[in-house]
Amino acid sequence: MRLFKTNSSKLLSVSGHRLWGSGFKSQASTRVPSKGTGYPPVLAYWICGSNGDGKRILRLLKAIYHPRNQYLLQLDAGSSEIERAELAFSVESESVFKAFGNVDVVGQSYPLDKTGASALSAVLHAAALLLKIGSDWDWFIPLSASDYPLMSQDDLLHAFTFLPRDLNFIDYTTNTGWKERLKINQIVIDPNLYYRETTPLMYAVETRTTPDAFKIFGG
């Protein structure tokens, strides 16, 4: 297991740590499943939560765990350092996670608002961290602590085996009239991109015209 600390500028960079404090290190050797052409795909999961979500993240991890996949766990700045440490120790205490070495924890997190730009920034940052860990995965899947699977990983990997590896899945709709009126024309500032503590979004009194340089899709 690696424990990552993000830098204060929120850039897509990483300083990797295999320890949570001094003297804590796994000595177990890891095993790597066969990957590449002719083998099932590799899924990279990012599971994110906030204060009080540590146990739910661990529950979800166990429900979707597979030795082939890569997992990155993160508790945002709404959680305490103790809670993030407990999550890291819980991962380290599971022998199967240690055997395959495919579960990592973000140690020093940052604030995010699920309705603001900081949420998108967190997704991109998680993808960058997973690429730093290893680039041999095929699909990136972001999850929250409240999610739970409807099918097993074996079934999911089997279904994805027969799909082109450059195929993407994005849930969207072209019916964005109400979103244009209520959200798109608003000027919103997400302070969580700059502050160290979770802060509510700021809405300007003024509005803007609907952008016409691109077509707008909603999830």
pLDDT tens-place values along the chain, 219 residues long:
666 554 433 322 333 333 332 233 344 556 777 877 778 999 999 999 999 999 999 999 999 999 999 999 999 999 999 999 999 999 999 999 999 999 999 988 899 998 889 999 999 999 999 999 999 999 999 999 999 999 999 999 999 998 998 888 877 666 656 555 567 788 889 999 999 888 999 988 888 887 778 777 665
Contact 64, 38 (CB under 8 A): no
DSSP-derived letter for residue 210 is P
Beta bridge partners of 3: 17, 105
Q: Where are the domains of the chain?
A: 3-161
- Is residue 165 classed as helix, strand or coil in its secondary structure? coil
SS3 124: helix
pTM of the model: 0.81
* Structure tokens that stand for 207 in this block: 């509005």
Taken in order 143, 149, 150, 152, the sign of the CA dihedral is: positive
Q: Kindly compute the dihedral angle of the four CA atoms of residues 68, 20, 4, 73, in this order, to the nearest 10 degrees.
A: 50
